[in-house]
Amino acid sequence: MFISIIVGSSRQNSQSAKVGQYVSSLVATKHSIHSVKDLLPKLWDSDDFESMKEQFAAKNEIISEELNQADAFIFVVPEWHGMVPPAMKNLFVTCDKELAHKPALLVAVSAGIGGSYPIAELRMSSYKNSRVCYIPDHVIVRGVEQVLNTPDSANQDDTRIRERLAYSVKVLEEYAKAFQSIRKSGIIDLATYPNGM
């Protein structure tokens, strides 16, 4: 089993990258971590879907292969102006069926008390064609600059978020195992139904 962690901030030294690193330390199975800023340096700029996807696959052969091989995803996504950053949305525009029928855990990040909008936005609109399956549990890391900074927890809030992250990663790992049988069932037909309704 393999889990791909995607950090959704395109900023250098982002807090989301810090959270992603912490989350990666909780994943018991094989995993990788990438930031959207390295994954997809270019925004969609073509009418030619096939050529853009080929370019993505050629430029990011290893990453594209990794996404294909992943059994589950963890998206660590900051709230920017009440939205998901554009580089993260670009993932859903550029990916083909790498995410299809795979469970994903959403981890939203806010320096303040925000973080609910990226959860709502991704749950509402990112799954239609990608067919990614968000698990019911998600985590919102609020006041991110005050937590996950040291090997040991600094205070009660830090402990609470560490425990919630650890629990949610374990839940995702169980979903990841169970979803393998859905993809192997022979029922999934993305050639006939490439896009959702």
Ligand X SMILES: Cc1cc2nc3c(=O)[nH]c(=O)nc-3n(C[C@H](O)[C@H](O)[C@H](O)COP(=O)(O)O)c2cc1C
Contact residues toward ligand X (CB under 6 A) are 9, 11, 14-16, 78-82, 109-112, 114-115, 144
Closest by CA to 34, choosing from 81, 98, 111, is 98
CB atoms within 10 A of CB 43: 11
The conformation of residue 126, written as its DSSP 8-state character, comes to S
Q: Which is closer to ligand X, CB of 17 or CB of 100?
A: 17
Q: How far apart are CA 180 and CA 105, in angstroms?
A: 16
User: Shortest gap between Cβ of 68 and ligand X (angstroms)?
Assistant: 26
Q: At its nearest, how many Å lie between ligand X and the CB of residue 75? A: 12
As measured in angstroms, the least distance from the Cβ of 57 to ligand X is 27
Q: Which is nearer to ligand X, 41 or 82 (CB)?
A: 82
The smaller minimum CB distance to ligand X, of residues 121 and 173, is found at 121
Please give the Cα distance from 49 to 53 (Å, whole number). Answer: 6
**Minimum CB distance to ligand X smaller for 9 or for 94:** 9
In the complex, the smallest distance separating the C-beta of residue 14 from ligand X, rounded to whole angstroms, is: 3
Residue 73 and residue 32: Cα distance in Å, rounded?
A: 10
